[in-house]
């Protein structure tokens, strides 16, 4: 995974969303009134588990929570997500301790003159003064640069799949479970060396001009349920950084497959919603499940 694709995958809401390509966007024609994101199911005599790949931020006019997805969700009595967001004060506490640098060690002290100039220009281009980001750790500045343009581009976390599903689950008083904690997910960033954090930030800085195209392509690939395109785009350059592939995809998918295998031993109907990138490619959750003897079947609709 090269640094540019790493930025695209990690920065938006600290999760694997997907990766866009201009060629894919030009070839695909999306009907925004009838999106059909991918959905799978595995079951036995008394247990049914649906697997749904998500996008964490979407445009409000995209209609996807209907047809097979709504039907599967309606049959489920438990919603499982990558993470259940903690209270705002807990997030704020984490940011203060893990995302803000110690006094005197802000971005201007660790970036080269050229890097800081490029960073400041990128921040200014989306209306963020570089000084506002100065005290941030490089990884957090990178995440901020990635998420800041979302509203300007018409994307909303409130319209994202997780939030829509959580709201619907709350209305039904469904049980909700998180596969990971907030601290675990943020650990993918804080565990990076300073050198990798800076490289991550600068990859985002240099990619800022393509942000609109990137998000459009991610949304298109997801909404059309094209898992081959998703796998191809997500795995671009992945062989260059096998350790990151192992930490960010393979190990997490294996842990989730283990959880699913154990959950299959208890009766009930479960709707699992995780980032679409985890349900595509050779090391997908479905592949991990297959190795355990479970078959996840794509629901065609």
| Residue 4 pLDDT grade (very low, low, confident, very high; cuts 50, 70, 90) | very low
- Determine the Cα angle at 18 with ends 12 and 19, to 5°: 100
Q: Give yes or no for residue 284 having a pLDDT over 90.
A: yes
166-221 pLDDT, tens digit each: 999 999 999 999 999 988 888 888 888 898 889 889 888 987 887 788 788 888 88
Range 76-111 burial, b when 16+ CB lie within 10 A, else e: bebbbbbbbeeeeeeeeeeeeeebebeeeebbeebb
pLDDT value of residue 208: 84
- Phi/psi for 56 (5° steps) reads -80, -15
DSSP string, 189-245: HHTS-HHHHHHHHHHHHHHGGGHHHHHHHHHHHHHTT-HHHHHHHHTTTGGG-HHHH
In this prediction, residues 282-295 reach a mean pLDDT of 95
In this prediction, residues 229-237 reach a mean pLDDT of 62
In this prediction, residues 89-94 reach a mean pLDDT of 87
| Residue 243 pLDDT grade (very low, low, confident, very high; cuts 50, 70, 90) | low
User: In degrees to the nearest 10, what's the CA dihedral of 165, 58, 219, 152?
Assistant: -170
**Which residues, at least 6 apart from 37, have a Cβ–Cβ distance to it below 8 Å?**
52, 53, 54, 55, 64, 69, 161, 222, 223, 225, 276
| Residue 90 pLDDT grade (very low, low, confident, very high; cuts 50, 70, 90) | confident
Rounded CA gap, 33 and 27, in Å?
19
Please answer whether residues 18 and 276 qualify as being in contact, where contact means their C-beta atoms are separated by less than 8 angstroms.
Answer: yes
In this prediction, residues 131-135 reach a mean pLDDT of 96
| Residue 247 pLDDT grade (very low, low, confident, very high; cuts 50, 70, 90) | confident
- pTM of the predicted structure, to 2 decimals: 0.85
Q: Give the closest residue to 54 by CA, choosing from 80, 23, 74, 75.
A: 80
């Amino acid at each position: 995974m090269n640094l540019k694709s790493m930025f695209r995958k990690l920065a938006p809401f600290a999760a694997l969303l997907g990766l866009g390509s201009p060629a894919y966007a030009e070839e695909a024609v999306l009907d925004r009134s009838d999106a059909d994101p991918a959905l799978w199911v595995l079951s036995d005599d008394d247990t049914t588990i649906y697997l749904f790949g998500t996008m964490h931020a979407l445009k409000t006019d995209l209609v996807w929570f209907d047809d097979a997805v709504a039907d599967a969700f309606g049959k489920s009595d438990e919603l499982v997500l990558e993470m259940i967001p903690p209270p705002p004060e807990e997030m704020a506490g984490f940011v203060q301790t893990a995302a803000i640098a110690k006094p005197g060690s802000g971005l201007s002290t660790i970036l080269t003159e050229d890097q800081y100039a490029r960073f400041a220009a990128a921040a200014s281009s989306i209306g963020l003064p570089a000084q506002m980001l100065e005290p941030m750790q490089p990884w957090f500045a990178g995440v901020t640069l990635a998420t800041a343009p979302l509203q300007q581009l018409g994307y909303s976390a409130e319209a994202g799949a997780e939030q829509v599903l959580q709201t619907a689950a709350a209305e039904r008083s469904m049980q909700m479970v998180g596969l990971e904690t907030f601290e675990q997910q943020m650990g993918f960033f804080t565990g990076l060396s300073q050198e990798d954090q800076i490289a991550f930030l600068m990859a985002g800085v240099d990619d800022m001009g393509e942000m609109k195209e990137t998000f459009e392509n991610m949304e298109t690939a997801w909404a059309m349920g094209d898992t081959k395109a998703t796998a191809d785009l997500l795995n671009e350059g992945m062989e260059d950084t096998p350790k990151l592939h192992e930490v960010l995809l393979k190990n997490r998918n294996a842990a989730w497959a283990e959880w699913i295998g154990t959950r299959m031993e208890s009766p009930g109907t479960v709707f699992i919603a995780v980032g679409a990138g985890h349900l595509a490619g050779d090391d997908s959750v479905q592949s991990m499940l297959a190795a355990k003897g479970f078959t996840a079947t794509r629901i065609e609709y």
